[in-house]
Structures are given as C-alpha cells and as structure tokens.
Structure 1
Amino acid sequence: MCKESKLEEKIKYAYNKKIENFGREIIFSYPNETLAISTTENKCSLKCAHCNGHYLNNMVSIEEYEDKIKSRNINSFLLSGGCSFEGDVPINKHINTLKTLKEKGFKLNAHLGLMEAKDIESVCKYIDIVSFDLVFDKSTIEEVYKINKSREDYIKAYETIKNSTKVAPHICIGLKGGKIKGEYEIINYLAKDSPEILTFIVLIPTKNTEYENVKPPNLERVADLLCEARIKLPKTIINLGCMRPRGKYRQELDQIALDCGVNKIVLPSRSAKNKAIEMNLKVKESKECCVL
C-alpha cells in the first residue's frame, strides 16, 4: 500500500471519529471580543528563534487595557508577555489586575510558561483557563528557546497548572525550524489523561527571526499529526489556532484540518468556509479566544 493511500485511510478514520463523538458541527472563531494584553510590553528576555519578540507588538500593554475596553466590546482577555530567562511569563507580578478583571466579570486565559509552582497556584485563583505550550524534544527547547529545560520541566508545570485550574495544552507543529520533532510524543503523553481541549498551532517563518527563511512543516506530515491526535484523543476538543502561516499554505491547511476532524478553526480561510458548506457541516461562530 502506498504512503499516500495510508494517509487517506487515516484521515477518513479520524474524521469518522470526530463525527462519532461530536457530530457534524464545526466552529469558526473570530476572537474580536478577546483582548490580548502583554505583561511585559514588547520585551522578552529569550528572543526565541521563531518569534524574537515580534508577536508582542500586536498586544496591548497591561497598563493600557482600560482605554481599549472603552472602545471595544471585550468579554475576555488573553494575558501573555515575554518570558524571563527561566521560561516563565511574569503574570504573577500583576495579581491585583487579575483580581480586578475577575471582579468585573471578564473571562481570563493566560500564558504562564514555566512558572514556579507557588506562583502558578497563586495566579490560577483568578484564571479561567491556561494555554500551555508543551515541548518535549530537548534539542528543540535549546535551539528555539535557548534555555536549559527538559520534557520533565514542561510536564511538571503542566501538571501543576492542571491541578490549579483548567488547562488547554498547545502543540506548535514544526516548532524546530519546520521539522516535526517531539509532537507525537506529546500526543502519547496527553492520551494517558485526555485534556478537554487541545490547540494546535503551526510554525510561521517570521521576518527578523532566526527562522525567517525556513519552510513551514510539510502539509502531509501536519495532516498525519492532526489525525493522530483525533484518533488517540477522540473526545478532546481539537482547535486549529490563530498562529499559522497565511496565504496558500493556510488555505490548504484549513481544508486539511476539516478533513482530519478538528472541532474549531480560528480565523478560517475562505477555502475552509467553502469546504465546510460542501461537507454539509453545521457551522457555528464564536467571538472569543479558541479555548474560551
């Protein structure tokens, strides 16, 4: 049997698993009612190979969020920021702001990174859900983040968060310069205690980063990985997040994601919308961050 037909067979099986557990519903997310705020403005100590602080420029400083919510219909926040040299996002320095936001009725999603256990427990009293990037491959951690951390460090932080509040693990496909390395191991680990939500993102070759000239991961490899997750985590809500390449790659990726049985696509391409109609899927829309 040729490799392509094996993948087609796997895609069909994964899609049937989705229908079996979730029916024909697909959610398209347009997160206009979630405001992304940075606790470090545009500063990050790590200058990672795939980001170099670039995406912090798209966030609002935590000091200025009040002005933004006056002019926009905001129901929730994504709290993020640059990392320290230990790999944590210093949200714990803004406990009073978190408390204020919760008292006002906002939903809070947060990136904590490799935060210490005591700080995780303190912060998570006010957080509805944490988006946590899992990375298991040691060489990827060293090359991308340039920190001396291991699979065990990520598992320890993830388990601590899981015991403190809801957590949506995130997997960046092709994080190591477009190569698939460690992603299957993460799925196998998650399958031991399936999360309610799992979000996939895909490496974006970003200008002025070390990875600006790499190619995003091969779409057949991405399809296989999405299918693997759908099959091994049949009752987990699987999202395709906002961080993924644009253009033709996104158009093809979004259609593949529908075939592989994802539950939600953030900012879907027109091709995905058209394909959903062709597949006779029941389209619903949401206006907040994919894990909320």
Structure 2
Amino acid sequence: MIDLRGVNLPPSFEDLELDQTLLDELYEGFQIRLRNFGKDIFFHSPGFKHYEVEDFSIKTGPKFVDISITGRNCELMCDHCASKILWHMIPATTPEELWRVAQELKEKGVDGILISGGSNKDGVVELYPFLNTMKRIKEELSMFVSCHVGLVDKELAEGLKEARVDAVLLDIIGDDQTIAEVYKLPHKSVKDYEESLRLLKEAGHNIVPHVIIGLHYGQIKGEYRAIDMIAKFDPSALVMVVVMPYYGKARFQLLPPPKPEESAKVILHARKALPSKPVVIGCARPAGPERVKFDLYALHAGVNGITFPAEGIFTYAKSLGLRPVVSPNCCSTVFLH
C-alpha cells in the first residue's frame, strides 16, 4: 500500500503553499482508488489541440477530435461559455457534412469523435437529424462515437441508442438558481437533469456525466448534490472540470474560479461517492500555478486520470508509486480500460 503521508514534494512544487491538512484529508481518496483500481493512472491528450509541457507530450497525430453540429453557434448563449467551447471543434452542420468530415478524419487515422454543439432555448443539443449518420459512422467506419448532449427526452435517449453511440456525456447541475441564472433556463430545474440521467440509463447507455466545479460564478453551490444524484445512476465514469471564467460572459470574466483547495474537496466527495467508478479530470480548468496545485491535489484525492496534466504532474505521479498510462483519447473513454 502506498502511503502519501510524509511524501517529500519535488523542488518545482515547493513554492505552491499547499494545505497539509487538506492533503492528509485527501489521503482517504487515494486509498479508495488503490483498492479499486490499482496503480494505473491515465494521462489524456485528445487531438483537438497540441499540448506539451516539459515532462508530458504525445508525438502521434490526433486520434480523437470534437465535432460541432452547430458550428460556433449556440442559441442559448449561457454565461458559462457563451459558445466559446465550440470554437475549437470541427464544424459539421448537416448530416452530409458530418459524414464527409468523419470519412476525412478516418483517412487521417482518427479513431474516435465526440459530437456536440450549441443548445437551443430549452437546453437541448438538437442531434435528432444526425442520428442516422452517427449509426452509419459506427457501422461503416468503425469509429468510437460519443455525444456531449444537453437535456434529453425519451426520443433522443432511444435514438442515440439506436445510433449505437458508445457513450453519452452531459453536464449535470445540482442547483436550480445556477440553472436559471448561469444556464439561462429558469423554466428548468435539477429534476430535469435527473430525468435526463434516468432516461439515458434506461435506454442502456454508457453515461459519463460532467460536473463543472465553480459553475455558479466561481462559487461552490450545487456540485455536491450533482455528484450524489449522478451516483444513483451507476455512471460508466465521472468527469470533473473547473469553470474557466475567460470563456464566459462579462460577469464571469470579473470573478475568479474557486480555489484549488475548494475544488479538491469536491473531487474527494466524488471519489467517495463513486468508489468503484473512474473519476477523471477533464480538459477544462484554469491555467497557471493554480492548475499545478489543482492537479496535485487531484492526484492525492485519488482520481483515475488527468487531461493535459500541468507541468511536473506526470513525473510526480510516478514518484507516488503510480503507473502513468498515456492516452491520445478523450478522458470520457477511461471506462473502456
């Protein structure tokens, strides 16, 4: 058994001003992941951007990319990202264009795609016209296909299953005020997000919910409730990200994200709520020294993987006795291992 208590930090981390009491608290999460998953830890670098730090990079071409069925357009334009998350995605706004893009990516050696897009005024990503094309991509190109959706109804949940998508990703929000103010959906509630989870699970999907830490303008508000709700539906994995204020509208950009210490406690709660399910850190989180601190805390909290790890984290994981596994795929695929 690996004992993190008393571990000496490498010189590059000595200026981080870590909370030792918190590190001791996170030790429980580390032991949970060792008991249930062993020493392997996944470091993901999906192909929508090149990422390289001193101790981590992937030299192969992209193997997994994101596609937006609405291009850069989002009808909802919520405060969270104001459509900017869509800007790095490949646009494919018709079924015919999606098929052409998928063929071109397959020829270039891409093995998997994530299909998403902007939401309508009801928080729905209108994937219905693309379902037959997704099925064709699965059957004729044998690609891994995941979809990052908004709220779903029974028709969409069953349609995605008929299309044979490999995984369904969706953001889960655990606070009605956040849904109304940040996501601009005052006519929706936490119950609608819970119903989406239920419908997707009943349709037989691999569900990989996402929780955005600090979504309520940098505050920790509904995250714990969201995690507890997710745990009831036996997800294939859980992805944790941190709000990135510079994506959002002006109000967001004036407010800081939550402190890494606050975020680490949310991750520990997720680890304890889902002891036998992979919990991974997704690509979205602020950069700089706070990212290093956050990633270090996440390792101690027992996550199964980290996407685009901060400099030094890959090496530090090895010093903790973990076995890093480098993956060019989206972190949502972690449940396949």
**Corresponding residue for residue 117 of structure 2:** 81
Alignment partners' CA distance in 2, 1:112 and 1:228: 25
Deviation at 1:68, TM superposition (A): 4.6
Alignment partners' CA distance in 1, 2:206 and 2:109: 25
Larger CA deviation: 183-192 vs 233-242: 183-192
The alignment partner of 1:200 has SS state of strand
Alignment partners' CA distance in 2, 1:193 and 1:81: 25
Unaligned ranges ≥5, structure 1: none
Say if 2:275 is the partner of 1:234.
yes
**Corresponding residue for residue 20 of structure 1:** 35
The alignment partner of 2:256 has SS state of coil
1:264–1:81 CA distance, 2 compared to 1 (3 A): same
**Corresponding residue for residue 135 of structure 1:** 173
**Corresponding residue for residue 99 of structure 1:** 135
Find 2:246's aligned residue among 187, 195, 206: 206
The 4+ residue runs of structure 1 with deviation greater than 4 A are: none
**Corresponding residue for residue 166 of structure 1:** 206
Write out per-residue CA displacement over residues 175-217 of structure 1, whole angstroms, 9 at most, x where no aligned residue.
0111001111122223334423110011001156231121111
1:57–1:269 CA distance, 2 compared to 1 (3 A): same
**Corresponding residue for residue 189 of structure 2:** 150
Alignment partners' CA distance in 2, 1:185 and 1:119: 25
Asked if the contact 1:255–1:271 (Cα under 8 Å) also holds between the matched residues in 2, the reply is no
Larger CA deviation: 58-67 vs 230-239: 58-67
Larger CA deviation: 43-52 vs 183-192: 183-192
1:247–1:274 CA distance, 2 compared to 1 (3 A): same
Asked if the contact 1:50–1:206 (Cα under 8 Å) also holds between the matched residues in 2, the reply is no
Aligned residue identity for 2:88: N
Write out per-residue CA displacement over residues 48-100 of structure 1, whole angstroms, 9 at most, x where no aligned residue.
11211111111111226247516632101100000011101011111232122
CA RMSD of superposed structures (Å): 1.7
1:59–1:5 CA distance, 2 compared to 1 (3 A): closer
Find 2:77's aligned residue among 47, 50, 61: 47
1:290–1:7 CA distance, 2 compared to 1 (3 A): same
Alignment partners' CA distance in 1, 2:27 and 2:229: 24
Aligned residue identity for 1:101: I
Aligned residue identity for 1:142: A
**TM-score under structure 2 normalisation?**
0.82
Asked if the contact 1:107–1:128 (Cα under 8 Å) also holds between the matched residues in 2, the reply is yes
**Corresponding residue for residue 59 of structure 2:** none
The alignment partner of 2:280 has SS state of strand
Aligned residue identity for 2:221: K
The alignment partner of 2:331 has SS state of coil
Alignment partners' CA distance in 2, 1:177 and 1:71: 42
Alignment partners' CA distance in 1, 2:233 and 2:119: 28
Alignment partners' CA distance in 2, 1:208 and 1:222: 19
Asked if the contact 1:140–1:176 (Cα under 8 Å) also holds between the matched residues in 2, the reply is yes
Aligned residue identity for 2:191: E
Find 2:217's aligned residue among 168, 177, 187: 177
Aligned residue identity for 2:197: Y
Write out per-residue CA displacement over residues 27-65 of structure 1, whole angstroms, 9 at most, x where no aligned residue.
101112112000111110111112111111111112262
Query: Between the two proteins, what is the percent identity of the paired residues?
Result: 33
Asked if the contact 1:204–1:243 (Cα under 8 Å) also holds between the matched residues in 2, the reply is yes
How many pairs align? 289
Asked if the contact 1:174–1:180 (Cα under 8 Å) also holds between the matched residues in 2, the reply is yes
Asked if the contact 2:147–2:169 (Cα under 8 Å) also holds between the matched residues in 1, the reply is yes
